[in-house]
Amino acid sequence: MTTTTQQPVNAQTRWQKVWGPIRSVLSTLMLTALMMGGMAVLMARGPSEVPAPSFTAKTVEGAEVRVGGDSGKPVVLYFWASWCSACKITSPIVSNYAARHPDVRVIGVAVDEVDTIRAALADSPRAFTTVIDDGKIAQKYGVSAFPTTFTLDSQGRPSWSRQGVLMPGELDVRGP
């Protein structure tokens, strides 16, 4: 006669105990990745036939910069703020792009106080022109988060935009 030991119905193996939390974490990570990918697709706007808003702004040094209209050169507009941690990741990427593409006007639009912008630029010099914005330019462009990057073709029409951190090389692929 053979006797078998039956485990109680509620007894779980070690693997079963560990698998539940692992599955939960993996599911959360997958959903987050899908949402982030979907958000990136939704936020990456395509070409437009409508010209981008024109503006004139001053640099920290007081020089006047005009953007808009048919400048004959493509433009990258990079909206940033000194307090923005994602901007600290994106600024070197935009600066690197500007250094490698002298044929493109790259303009940083800093939405911050002048002294704060000066300090940020002293700590981290950039290879692009930075203008000061009191929020009006960002509002014209519908910027609701930092960083936000726009590309304009040589006729001043928006061709692409991204809200959030740029990946290295992304402007090379998507840029004007």
Token pair in block for residue 67: 């953007």
The predicted model gives 120-124 an average pLDDT of 91
pLDDT at 44 over 60: no
Distance between CA atoms of residues 54 and 68, nearest Å: 4
Per-residue model confidence as pLDDT tens digits over 53-97: 999 999 989 999 999 876 689 999 999 999 999 999 999 999 999
Q: What's the predicted TM-score (pTM) here?
A: 0.72
Helix and strand numbers (H, E) in the chain are: 5, 7
Per-residue model confidence as pLDDT tens digits over 152-174: 998 899 999 999 999 999 999 98
Q: When comparing pLDDT for 47 and 13, which is higher?
A: 13
Distance between CA atoms of residues 67 and 52, nearest Å: 9
pLDDT at 125 over 80: yes
Q: Given this model, what pLDDT does residue 11 score?
A: 58
Q: Given this model, what pLDDT does residue 43 score?
A: 42
Q: Given this model, what pLDDT does residue 41 score?
A: 41
Q: Given this model, what pLDDT does residue 18 score?
A: 72
Listed residue (44, 57, 43) closest to 138, CA to CA: 57
Q: Given this model, what pLDDT does residue 67 score?
A: 92
Tell me if the domain spanning 45-174 has CATH number 1.10.730.10. Answer: no
Residues in the chain: 176
Using pLDDT thresholds of 50, 70 and 90, give the confidence band for residue 40: very low
Q: Given this model, what pLDDT does residue 4 score?
A: 59
Per-residue model confidence as pLDDT tens digits over 4-35: 556 555 556 776 777 777 776 766 666 555 45
Q: Given this model, what pLDDT does residue 174 score?
A: 85
Per-residue model confidence as pLDDT tens digits over 89-113: 999 999 999 999 999 999 999 999 9
The ranges assigned to domains in the chain are 9-43, 45-174
